[in-house]
Structure 1
Amino acid sequence: MTKTIIHFFLVILTLSGLSLQAQKRILYNIQVTYPDGLKKNSTVYLDINNDKADFYEARFITPGQKPSGLVQAIERKSGTSENTILVQDFKLNSFRIKTTDILDWKLTNDYKTVEKYKLQKATASFGGRNWNVWFCNEIPLAEGPYKFNGLPGLVFEAEDTDGVFKYSLMKIENLSKSSVQPTLNVKNAVNITWEKYNKLLSDFYENPYQKERESAQKGNEIVYEDKEMKVQDFTKMTKDFQAMIRKNLPPYVEADKNFLLNKTN
């Protein structure tokens, strides 16, 4: 396992010009700990462009990058709780889900200093997890990674108490006309609800080879990897697919949205 070391804040921020009407690109490292203990690090981006905030994976501005999970980008009017989430299913179809996510922040009297910045701790329960968040009152941007916004300063750090997810601010850049722009306006993305989206995932998980199975049942020849498939072969293939999904599907930031929650196999 490759151990990625992130140097938290090897960057000097210029506070002049940072305001609620800002044009900034904020880079976060996200560390995800899988159930088997494997830790994966990647870079995610938060663009604040005046009254608009976009949170997205590196692949949207870096050619050749692959999706790291089903949830890939979030768009919102900066400082609001109205989010539009860009997701994919197992067949790489794209969907948009609109959600209202009001976080009930509890400000604490805990403070720490990172580099020269004084951070204050806030806590909230969200998405089936309890979160500890550190934000900077000196930088009056009520934004942060994923859906962690609405605090009186920019979020520097966000971690759930189980240690599955940890966001750490790496760098703040100015957004300009020459900045590479993410392509979030995915063609053919269909509007859908979480419930319908999870049903799509669940139905495919239960029967990923439905069309092939039905065709074989009608007596049609189905060839897979140079082997003619029988109806019974799809039972084993389905079990193998389900085992692969359970092993490799990244954890959900919002654990209560995981379509596998009620799956026993």
Structure 2
Amino acid sequence: MKKIGIIALALFMQNIYAQANRFVYQVTMKPDAANKTDIKTENAYLDISAEKSMFYSENRLKRDSIMQRSFQTNGGRGISFNRDQMEGLRSIINYSIEKDKTNQKTFFKDRIGRDNYSYEEDRPLSWKILPETTKIGEYKVQKAETDFGGRKWTAWFTTDLPYQDGPYKFTGLPGLIVKVEDAQGEYSFDLMKNYKIADFPTMNQFGNTIKVKRADYLKQQEKYRTDPMSFMSQQGGGFSQTRIGGSGIASPRSGGGGGGRGGNQNPAEMRKRMEDRIKEEAKNNSNPIELK
């Protein structure tokens, strides 16, 4: 009986450590440089395990779930979904961040046109930990500051939780970041709640994945803003590509488009409409979280 009890305890502990914790952050943004009164708010998830963490939009997970169900329903022949439903899940947080805790590396992933781009963050965060403490919700927190991406950031972290992580690319403090905000009040991340999940979700990766340096990603991003239609061809943006798998299926960048409409539209009209939409998105997102 004692041996059975030990085995049961071992299995229980294994199950506990196999789980991940999901921290839900409310992200508040002023993405339009010309209209700082336009405030956008959405939720994002920070999933943490012993080996890694992932930060991504809640709407991204919902969109992926809808698209995956549609793909399975259609027997793998393509994706068809309700445009209005997907429009309601549009997100400004189209990127995802993965942190490799073992090797202390941070990876940024984003879609440009048909392809997914991935780069390793090459700028280490340097924090100044201050003596000031307060309480946010149920957590006792301490203040810290850093300069990153052209902005000055203030963070409040807690050692009440056994994690040294935070939303977006923020990491390196001796605790979990409960709140972080830039000095202009244009971007903030506020912890709302947390709970356990069985495992990390599998994100849809339609198209190819292209590994690049951060500087090359920024060049491609700027090219996409000025000439978006060049990214709609099979060859993407003309970049020298290192491809990793990929299904070659185009996916809407921010949840719009697609799905059961427009089958009889003139190709030139569709192209013009897509180009106008992409340029409008660029205008509405002219105040990025990283200014440099």
Per the normalisation by structure 1, the TM-score is 0.70
Q: Judging by fraction of residues, say which structure has more strand.
A: 1
Match of 1:29 in 2: 26
RMSD, matched Cα: 3.4
Q: Residue type of the partner of 2:168?
A: Y
Q: Contact 2:57 / 2:94 at 8 angstroms: preserved in 1?
A: no
Residue segments in structure 2 that go unaligned for 5+ positions in a row: 1-15, 67-85, 232-265
Do the aligned partners of residues 210 and 51 (structure 1) sit closer, same or farther apart at CA in structure 2, a change above 3 Å counting?
Answer: closer
Q: Residue type of the partner of 1:224?
A: A
Q: Residue type of the partner of 1:255?
A: L
Match of 1:251 in 2: 287
Q: Give the secondary structure class of the aligned counterpart of 1:195.
A: helix
User: What is the aligned-residue identity percentage?
Assistant: 25
Q: Residue type of the partner of 1:76?
A: K
Q: Residue type of the partner of 1:130?
A: K
Do the aligned partners of residues 184 and 99 (structure 1) sit closer, same or farther apart at CA in structure 2, a change above 3 Å counting?
Answer: farther
Q: Give the secondary structure class of the aligned counterpart of 1:152.
A: coil
Match of 2:101 in 1: 78
Q: How does 1:160-239 map onto structure 2 within 5 Å?
A: 160-176=182-198, 181-183=201-203, 188-208=208-228, 224-225=268-269
1:58, CA displacement in angstroms? Answer: 1.5
| Counterparts of 2:102 and 2:132, CA distance in 1 | 24
Q: How many residues align?
A: 217
Q: Judging by fraction of residues, say which structure has more helix.
A: 2
- Tell me: higher relative CO, structure 1 or 2? Use CA pairs within 8 A at least 6 residues apart: 2
1:47, CA displacement in angstroms? Answer: 0.7
Q: Residue type of the partner of 1:225?
A: E
Do the aligned partners of residues 182 and 164 (structure 1) sit closer, same or farther apart at CA in structure 2, a change above 3 Å counting?
Answer: farther
Q: Give the secondary structure class of the aligned counterpart of 2:201.
A: coil
Do the aligned partners of residues 242 and 171 (structure 1) sit closer, same or farther apart at CA in structure 2, a change above 3 Å counting?
Answer: closer
Question: Are 1:87 and 2:107 counterparts?
Answer: no
Match of 1:133 in 2: 155
Q: Give the secondary structure class of the aligned counterpart of 1:225.
A: helix
Q: Contact 2:59 / 2:91 at 8 angstroms: preserved in 1?
A: no
Q: Contact 1:81 / 1:100 at 8 angstroms: preserved in 2?
A: no
| Counterparts of 1:242 and 1:176, CA distance in 2 | 37
Match of 2:11 in 1: none
| Counterparts of 1:154 and 1:30, CA distance in 2 | 16
1:203-225 CA-partner distances (Å, limit 9, x unpaired): 343344569xxxxxxxxxx9633
Q: Residue type of the partner of 2:269?
A: E
Q: Contact 2:116 / 2:205 at 8 angstroms: preserved in 1?
A: no
Per the normalisation by structure 2, the TM-score is 0.64
Q: How does 1:4-153 map onto structure 2 within 5 Å?
A: 23-34=20-31, 35=33, 36=35, 37-62=37-62, 63-64=65-66, 66=89, 68-69=91-92, 71-78=94-101, 81-89=104-112, 91-153=113-175
